[in-house]
Structure 1
Amino acid sequence: MPTQKRVGRIEGVLLPLLLVVLMIVAAVTVAFARHFGWWLRPLASEHGAAIDRLFVITLVITGLVFILVQSLLALFVFRYRGENGRRAIFYPDNPRLEITWTVIPAVILTALIVSGGRLWSRIQLTPPPPDAFAVEVWGQQFKWAIRYPGKDGKFGRTDMRLIRGDNPLGIDTKDPASKDDIFFPAGEGELHIPVGKPVVIYLRSKDVIHSFYVPQFRVKQDAVPGMVTRIWFVPTKKGTFEIACAELCGQGHYTMRGVLIVEDEAKVREWLAQQSTVADLIP
């Protein structure tokens, strides 16, 4: 019995120290996250600011709760550690305290969920402007294919039964709208979009579920076989960015990368004018 009491006293000191160390490590990690590159990528889209703001608010609230809970746990473990002559206190319940620590977290979580839902709806459910720059991106193990609608602004029809070597997207050449489409087979092209202008990306998949992800734009949208999904945003910075696949899509998932270039709209139009169309490439 004396040995057990001694062990209890030791544990009553070591566990609070461990909790304090844990809180210090967590605080230092968050404080130096940006310095070591562990933070969010530099923002490059309009809607991303709202996402970052909600992320920081959530992190601050959960961080404060973490510190409060761990501090109380450390205090109680140390304060009520095993000692000679100490007897356990019979404390059946405290309805007022229990209601308080139930209602307050419920209100905070509800507010965060509602805020997140409103932001998600604004990003996902709001239709893009009519003059948005449109482009279609296809996921295919383990590369991205790209199609632009051409001067008429319309995508031609596609049919999986028309896929062959020189027509990897199954574009229906009998559709007049497809004649001026510009496409790049999987892994053979770059995605060029204009800065400061709404861009809508239509996503499709030829095989399994992929996920179009550009962290600087705070954009992530699944490409699902058999359906067309959509994401739109307004890029605010020029530069070259990496398109990643954020959905495990097979053994070569880690190699599924693409290049996205944001530049002036005039340069994008000039670049598109230099590309071959469906009429040039598919007989």
Structure 2
Amino acid sequence: MSMFFTIAVIVLVFLVIFQIAKASEYVSVLKGEEKSRAQSNKINGFLMVAFLVLGLIGVYLCNKALYPKTLLPVGSASEQGEKVDSMLIVTLWITGFVFVATQIVLFVFAYKYQENPKRKVFFFPHNNTMELIWTVVPAITLTILVVIGLRNWFTFTSDAPANSLRVEVTGKQFGWIFRYAGKDNEFGKKYFRVIDDANNNPLGQVWADQEKFNMKADPANNDDIVQSQTMYCVKGKPVQLIIGSRDVIHDVGLPQFRMKMDAVPGTPTTLWFTPKYTTKEMKEKTGNPDFIYEISCDQMCGNGHYSMKGIIEVVTQEEFDVWMAKQKPNYLVANPDKDPSNAPAAAATTPVVDSTKKVALAH
């Protein structure tokens, strides 16, 4: 019902505009075309100034109302993200100044140079100086912005510090899988043909020899820890993400950290950043007890794209160590018969008494 009402209102608006246009034509016929055109031109000139003033007021009010709802007031949750924020702010100031200046010139000129029978037309075909200014200045400005962006990009995607926590992030339709290296600090080999969700091998870790694929078992897999949907990292410690996908192209989006990177099947990508606040501290900072660090998919990847969200828990080093100590390697999860903690307790045995000694003692 509401749809029909909306359509009816739109049709009515068009009919009103059409009738106003027809009435304007009749008025111009009665008054005379020249006089009517001059009057309309004068009205349009004043309307241009009114639109300018109301438009700039609208821009200001929209900015005032919507800015607090963005992520900028809270600030970046990573040290590297601060560079992204500063780059964005500089870009907004430059483009904002250009927008306001050009709009003022546009509407003021429309008012100032309205039709006037006392003014003669000035033919202005060419001006090398002006063309040089409006070509060179924007080119230099955009070049500077691009250089700043590339410098930041190369920083985020360069080799991470030696003490970084390494986390392998794998996207799938429609969720995230995280892998941590075990005590050997090495990720075991994986192969997409041995992926088996039903048997707790979502990454295709090579635990046993795969003769038909000519692959040997990789012992480095035996202590790797695999988690789904929640990633843990440490405040103040660089974390390097080794990103991939097991089906289609996804995109790791970290809005609070101001980071993002494509997850491409068969082509690992990397990204690193240093968290500034724990999840608990961000809850206090934002005043939101339900705050979470989100990892989202920023690349349309299918019908369930909207639901492809994960959680990042930023904790202290002590909390992370406790969490890691509680985790069980995925090899033992998939092969419970290999888990020492599942071995049956040794059967209690009754001590055997030597009967010959008892007889000797009796005598």
Structure 2 regions of 5+ residues with no counterpart? Answer: 1-33, 208-216, 280-291, 336-363
Q: TM-score, normalised by structure 1?
A: 0.93
- The residue type equivalent to 1:168 in the other structure is P
Question: How many Å apart are 1:235 and its aligned residue?
Answer: 0.4
Moved runs in structure 1, 4+ residues, more than 4 A? none
Aligned residues: 278
Question: How many Å apart are 1:248 and its aligned residue?
Answer: 0.8
How many angstroms apart in 1 are the aligned matches of 2:147 and 2:104?
Answer: 29
**1:193 alignment partner, one of 224, 233, 250:** 233
Match of 1:28 in 2: 61
Matched ranges for 1:160-239 at <5 A: 160-164=192-196, 165-166=198-199, 167-173=201-207, 174-184=217-227, 188-239=228-279
- Please state whether the residue corresponding to 2:125 is helix, strand or coil: coil
Q: Percent identity?
A: 37
- 1:28-85: per-residue Cα shift (whole Å, max 9, x none)? 33344433x0343532101111111111011001111111111111111110112334
Q: TM-score, normalised by structure 2?
A: 0.73
How many angstroms apart in 2 are the aligned matches of 1:79 and 1:200?
Answer: 59
- 1:128-180: per-residue Cα shift (whole Å, max 9, x none)? 01221011111111111111111111111000111112111100112110000
Structure 1 regions of 5+ residues with no counterpart? Answer: none
Contact 2:80-2:274 at 8 Å conserved across structures: yes
**1:137 alignment partner, one of 169, 172, 175:** 169
Whether 1:48 aligns to 2:81 is: yes
Question: How many Å apart are 1:189 and its aligned residue?
Answer: 4.3
Contact 2:165-2:238 at 8 Å conserved across structures: yes
Whether 1:251 aligns to 2:284 is: no
Contact 2:75-2:82 at 8 Å conserved across structures: no
- Please state whether the residue corresponding to 2:67 is helix, strand or coil: coil
Match of 1:278 in 2: 330
Q: State the Cα RMSD in Å.
A: 1.6
Match of 2:351 in 1: none
Question: How many Å apart are 1:19 and its aligned residue?
Answer: 2.7
How many angstroms apart in 2 are the aligned matches of 1:105 and 1:279?
Answer: 57
Distance 1:256 1:95, change over 3 A: same
Task: Give the helix-richer structure, 1 or 2.
Answer: 2
Task: Give the strand-richer structure, 1 or 2.
Answer: 1
Distance 1:279 1:114, change over 3 A: closer
Rg (Cα) greater in structure: 2
Which segment drifts farther, 39-48 or 139-148?
Answer: 39-48
- 1:164-204: per-residue Cα shift (whole Å, max 9, x none)? 121111001121100001113xxx44211111001001111
How many angstroms apart in 1 are the aligned matches of 2:229 and 2:322?
Answer: 16
Match of 2:96 in 1: 63
How many angstroms apart in 1 are the aligned matches of 2:140 and 2:331?
Answer: 59
